[in-house]
Structure 1
């Protein structure tokens, strides 16, 4: 029975002995099935336990067809095993999963938003709320309520019930399992079906901190951490802040203002650079049209966006100009064709010839076209094809 599994009977226990029922190999990974186990298998949003069996590392634990498969680094070749789980990992998962229960109930209570999914990652935890619209004040209210429940150190009850004994009016969400139903209950706060491991009281969660939110497929995803992970996040952020302070050469309290000044300076420099590049393109365009109305030029490793600006600038600089430009960017050969206001040739016929030669895609108008494709033609050969289209 599910309730007889060791990780349910005592989630704080770390060592055990068990008979080996069978061993096997699946997709090149050796595994063992035991008579009973402390190793929690991946499920319900909670990752599996890790640890060792007879000193051999357990890398994964999955439940399949009612059996728990312990994937190990090498075959056990044993009838009886001594097992030890990684308590640091187990306790972390207990903190995060319980924090999820508490925060989910807090969002229902403070914002009327239900949780539709849950993910316990290696660094942070996330829940997806069934709403597209959530404001910072609602995040703060839910976080505050969750931490109140944690600080009150309320008892956490686990109870096995049958479907007939289930109080569906109190359920946070509908239960999808039949037969043995396991409830995790925080009295007068949360009543929910769950197969995960949990501590005996909310105080063991330590504290909960929301890290941020994002919109995902018409839902709102909340990222948060609990317990020791808050210290990990604080250490990480302090390390980043210390590095930033060092690069900016300012006191820590002036970091925000220093970054703001740096961004303002960067935006001003970007504007100046864009203006300078524009002037250089205009000079290049005027130089191109000095040789006559038909302009042909090929390039290598030059962004197509720059060629577009150059083509338009050259067509503006000389009203009777026909400008044909090609560029080789890696395996792709691209082209631009533009005409001045007094030129009569349609650039669409130039594009048609170029696309047929390259087997690529493109398009445009009577006055300006662009395109390209993967072809072995050289940029100079494509220029010849384009020039032939206007002769």
Structure 2
């Protein structure tokens, strides 16, 4: 687990971005909030992936920017000003075309921000184009058509297209080659949040954990030998770049970090979801490639913080009852686990008889953290694909809900095995 240390002189990244953004003026108003700052989706969908590109420029990746990089970050945003202004102008036209077409589903920023950035680079300022309105209408039609075909079949066809395979393999290679090292940070506050999240979640502390990128820093341990494997996230000694993949089966999905890009997205398609909240196929695939190279292999910092919290909330939970809880959340989950009769049934079974219980199931029953973190990762990954945010008030329901789900599945699996053998739990 990463412990916080001082970082020396630095400037908050959000403040720097807002300051540079103010220098772009009214031309970027469609991408700004009422205070003139960039919208959260502007940062997430445009500035981070397309302008600052922190995976390739790790000096821009932290919540605090070292003073020697401040001017460079500001200059990078200002130099992108013409493209961002053109993006804003295209976005205004595309929204008008969307209204004329009667499209109402989904958030326009999610659907069109990156498309408008592409239009800005392809066509420049739409004011100089006589057919700009027609291009905007075509863009809306293209996006709407893609949204209607968000299916497993189209995902498979896209990922097996020979031209796409070459391009996507290159993106995957570069995403993993450019992975930044976690930045030092101040003390983490994870235990403090776990002590209150079940009954009095602290929204300010939750935001501070995300802003300080505590989840990112806590992911550093995953690259050490056997750590991610012990957490049940991979069967390998350490995480490795995934394959692109061309097939998937829900019954034979490997651990999260070992899943191909195809398998990661396939798992989301086969779950219950709101289709209109998910991106189009090309954007989903490219996003998943970058997500696979991110800390905890998750894209959003709140998701990474949630993984770190889940890890700490389940540390030390096993069949022993004499351990001292590390937090209130840890104590609550330990108490829930200790009440499960099937856990004690497994412990009571003599060796010859216990052979009827598969060793993998027995191990996971007695060491519940690994199956828990696998399911927590899958839950957070699905939330990211659907564009769902995680607030402080959601965290305990998420942590406890995943734990209950794991215990219920284990109980049912063991019951079926024992009933088949004529045993009783």
When normalised by structure 1's length, the TM-score is 0.21
Structure (1 or 2) with the larger CA radius of gyration? 1
When normalised by structure 2's length, the TM-score is 0.20
Higher relative contact order (CA 8 A, sep 6+): 2
**Structure with the higher strand share, 1 or 2:** 1
**Structure with the higher helix share, 1 or 2:** 2
